[in-house]
Chains A and B, each alone.
Chain A
Amino acid sequence: MRQFEREKKSTRDAYGNAVHELAKQDPTVIGIGADTTNNIGLKGMAKEFPDRVINVGIAEQNMMGTAAGLAATGFKVFGGSFGPFVAMRSLEQFRTFIAYPHLNVKMAGGMGGLSAANEGVTHQCPEDMAIMRTIPGNIVVYPADMASCDVIVKKLSTIPGPAYIRLGKFPFLKVFDENYTFEPGKANLLEDGTDLTLIACGTTITRCLQAKDVLAEEGISARVLDMSCIKPLDENAVLAAAKETGAIVTVEEGTILGGLGSAVAEVLVEQALVPMQRVGVRDVFTESGDHDPLMDKYGLSVADIVSAAKAVLARK
C-alpha cells in the first residue's frame, strides 16, 4: 500500500497565498474575514496590501453582506471564516445576498469537514459541502492538498459568481503537484480500473488510492476518480464509471446526507442504476480528536473503503 508525505503547511496557507498572488496582478482582488484573515492565510497579503484585506471582526453575517457590497461595486472577493460560521451562521446572507444576485464572491470554510479536529463539534463542519450544494449556481470544492488548492483558487478567480472552498486546519498529505488540472464540473481520472470505481473528494483521495492498492492484492481492479468539485458534478464521469466498471463507492469526509454520495446517487438512480455505497460520516455528531484518527473512527479508514468496495461487488 502506497504512502504519502505530510505537507509542511495547510490548504489555508495555500488559499491565502493564491489570493495574494492574484492580488498582485489584479487590483480588484480583495480579501475579507471575520477575525479570520490570518487564519485563512491572508497575512502576507494584508502586509503588502493593507487596504485590500478587510477584517469585519467576529461578525460573519456582516462579512457576507459587506462582501456582497464590495462585489456589487466591482471587486473579486475572496473571504472566509470557519466552516460552520460560513455554511451555517451566515448561510442565508451567502445565499440571498451573494449567490442569488450571482456576485463574484468566493468563500472559504476553514477547518471544514472534520479538520477542526480537537476543537470539537462547535468548529467541525461535516455538513458544509452538503449544505452549500443546495445553493443554485454555487461551485463547491474541497482541495486535497496545497498544490491543487492553488490551482483551484486561481481557476475560480476567472469564473464570475459564488463558490465555496472547504479548507483544512493542519497540513494534509501531498498527492498532487503544480500540473494539477481543475475545471468546475470535471472529475480527474486518477487511476483506471475495471471492477468498480472509487469516487473521492479532498482528503479521501489518498485513502482511496491506498484502498485501490489493497484491493489489487486481492485481484480487484478499482478506478479512482478525483471528484473534489461536488458542484457542478461531473455526471458524465459518473455515468462512464457506472457503464465501464458497474459498481461505485463514494468516499467523503462529511455527512453522507446530501454531499458527494448523495450527488452521485442522484445521477445513478435517474440514469444508470448500478450497485453503489456511500462511505462517510453517518448521521451522528462527531467528537474531539486528531483529524486522521477521527476520519478512521467515523467510518473513513482504508479498511472501511475496502469493505464497502467488496460489498458493492457482491451486489453486482
Chain B
Amino acid sequence: MLTKKEIKELNIFACEIRKATFSAIHGAGRGHIGGAMSMVEALAVLYGKEMKIDPKEPRMPERDRFVLSKGHCGPSLYATLAVKGFFPREALPTMNHGGTILPSHVDRLKTPGIDFSAGSLGTGISVAVGSALGAKVKGLDYRTYCIVGDGECDEGQVWEAAMFAASKKLDNLVVLVDYNKQQLDGWTKDVCDLGDIGAKFSQFGWNTVEVDGHNVSAIYDALEAARACKGQPTAIILDTVKGKGCSYAEKAGLCHHLDMTDEQFAQETALQDARIDALRKEED
C-alpha cells in the first residue's frame, strides 16, 4: 500500500507527465490526446514506483520491460521518460517532426527507454508475452508490463496471446487495459461492444483486477496483487476517462485525436500547474 506522501508524489508526477505530454502534442500541433491522457496515472505508478528501471542505463539487463501496445499514445510515454530523465525534455516538441527521436508510434531503435516498437494495434500483447516467456526460459526475474487499449481488444490476436499467456502460466506478465470506452470511430459499445472485458480475461485464465484507472493508490494495489498471484498472468482493467486531465478534451467527449493551439497549450499547462500547487499544499 502507498503512503499518503507517495500518493501525493505520484499525483504530482502524473501532473508533470500531463504537462510534458502537452508540450509534445503542442509541438506537433495535434495528436492522440484522448488515449495519451487516459493512461497517465498508470504510467505514473509504473515509472514512478513499480518498475525496476534506470534512466542512466536504459538497457540495463535486469530492468523490467514495458510494451505500449497502444503505440499511438506514445506522447504520454515519451513525456514520462523525459520527466524521468531518459532523454532531454527539449526533445518533446520535436515529436512527429522529420528526424525526431520521438516518432508518432514508439520505436525501440530511436528512443532511449523504449524497449519494443509498437503501434499496429492488437499485436503488442504478443510481444509482451514473448518478453515474459523469455524471462521464464532464462530463469530471470524481470517483469513485463503492457498497456493495451480497449479498442484494440477487437483484434483476434489479443485473444491468441491471452490464451497462450495463461497456458504458459506467465505470472511475470501484467497487462493493463486502458478501458476508456472510445476508439477511432466512436464509443466502443457502438463500434464493437466489448461486453465485460474483465470477465473475458478471467475466462481466458487470467487473474483479473478492475480498478479506477485514475487512482494511483488503487493501481498500485492492483500491481501488488499481480505480484502476489502465482501461476497466472494478471489483467488490470483500468476504468478511465478518455482525455482525462485535458479540460477541452474531456468536454469534447469523443477525443481520440485533437488539435492543440497555443492558447489551449497555455491554458492546460496552467491548469496542471495549479493542480501541482494544490497538491504540494496537502499534508504528507
> Would you list which residues of chain B between 107 and 133 have a CB under 8 Å from chain A?
107-109, 115-118, 120, 123-133
> Would you list which residues of chain B between 121 and 151 have a CB under 8 Å from chain A?
123-138, 144
Contacts of A30 in B (CB 8 A): 137
The answer for the CA separation of A52 and B134 in the assembled complex, in Å, is 9
Say yes or no for A302: interface residue by CB 8 A criterion. no
Q: Is the CB of A100 within 8 A of B160?
A: no
Q: Is the CB of A62 within 8 A of B135?
A: no
Q: Is the CB of B116 within 8 A of A72?
A: yes
The answer for the CA separation of A74 and B138 in the assembled complex, in Å, is 10
Q: Is the CB of A64 within 8 A of B126?
A: yes
Q: Is the CB of A73 within 8 A of B164?
A: no
Say yes or no for B161: interface residue by CB 8 A criterion. yes
Contacts of A139 in B (CB 8 A): none
The answer for the CA separation of A62 and B107 in the assembled complex, in Å, is 20
Q: Is the CB of A68 within 8 A of B120?
A: no
Q: Is the CB of B127 within 8 A of A61?
A: no
> Would you list which residues of chain A between 57 and 114 have a CB under 8 Å from chain B?
57, 59, 61-62, 64-75, 92-93, 96-97, 100-102
The contact size tier of chain A is 20 to 34
Contacts of A73 in B (CB 8 A): 65, 130-131, 134-135, 138
Contacts of B134 in A (CB 8 A): 69-70, 73-75
Contacts of A97 in B (CB 8 A): 117-118, 120, 123, 126-127
Choose from A51, A65, A74 the contact partner of B126 (Cβ within 8 Å): A65
Residue on A nearest B107 in the bound complex, by CB = A101
The answer for the CA separation of A49 and B134 in the assembled complex, in Å, is 14
Say yes or no for A201: interface residue by CB 8 A criterion. no
**Main secondary structure on chain A at its contact with chain B?**
helix
Contacts of A93 in B (CB 8 A): 120, 123, 126, 157
Say yes or no for B163: interface residue by CB 8 A criterion. yes
With A59-B160, A68-B126, A72-B130 in contact, do A102 and B116 touch (Cβ < 8 Å)?
no
Q: Is the CB of A92 within 8 A of B135?
A: no
Q: Is the CB of A66 within 8 A of B133?
A: yes
Q: Is the CB of A68 within 8 A of B164?
A: no
Interface size on B, residues (CB 8 A): 34
Interface membership of chain B positions 155-168, coded 1 if the CB is closer than 8 angstroms to chain A and 0 otherwise: 01100110110010
Q: Is the CB of A59 within 8 A of B164?
A: yes
Shortest distance from the beta carbon of A10 to any chain B beta carbon, whole Å? 28
Choose from B65, B127, B163 the contact partner of A66 (Cβ within 8 Å): B127
Choose from B115, B137, B160 the contact partner of A61 (Cβ within 8 Å): B160
With A51-B137, A56-B164, A59-B160 in contact, do A96 and B120 touch (Cβ < 8 Å)?
yes
* Residue from the set A51, A62, A70, A100 with the largest chain B CB neighbour count within 10 Å: A62
Say yes or no for A54: interface residue by CB 8 A criterion. yes
Interface membership of chain A positions 268-304, coded 1 if the CB is closer than 8 angstroms to chain B and 0 otherwise: 0000000000000000000000000000000000000
* Residue from the set B65, B107, B126, B133 with the largest chain A CB neighbour count within 10 Å: B126
Residue on A nearest B132 in the bound complex, by CB = A69
Shortest distance from the beta carbon of B126 to any chain A beta carbon, whole Å? 2
Shortest distance from the beta carbon of A147 to any chain B beta carbon, whole Å? 31
Residue on B nearest A57 in the bound complex, by CB = B164
Interface membership of chain A positions 143-169, coded 1 if the CB is closer than 8 angstroms to chain B and 0 otherwise: 000000000000000000000000000
Contacts of B115 in A (CB 8 A): 72
Interface membership of chain B positions 161-205, coded 1 if the CB is closer than 8 angstroms to chain A and 0 otherwise: 101100100000000000000000000000000000000000000
Contacts of B161 in A (CB 8 A): 59, 62, 65-66
With A75-B134, A100-B117 in contact, do A69 and B127 touch (Cβ < 8 Å)?
yes
Residue on B nearest A66 in the bound complex, by CB = B130
Q: Is the CB of A67 within 8 A of B123?
A: no
Q: Is the CB of A101 within 8 A of B109?
A: yes
Choose from A52, A68, A71, A102 the contact partner of B137 (Cβ within 8 Å): A52
Residue on A nearest B105 in the bound complex, by CB = A96
Known A61-B126, A65-B124; 16 more pairs at CB < 8 Å: A51-B136, A57-B160, A57-B167, A59-B164, A61-B123, A65-B127, A66-B129, A67-B130, A68-B116, A72-B108, A73-B138, A74-B134, A75-B134, A96-B120, A97-B127, A100-B117
| CB-defined A-B contacts under 8 Å, sample of 10 | A65-B130, A69-B144, A70-B130, A72-B131, A73-B130, A73-B135, A74-B134, A93-B157, A97-B126, A101-B109
Q: Which 8 A-B pairs have the closest CB atoms?
A: A69-B130, A65-B126, A59-B160, A62-B160, A66-B130, A73-B134, A69-B131, A69-B127
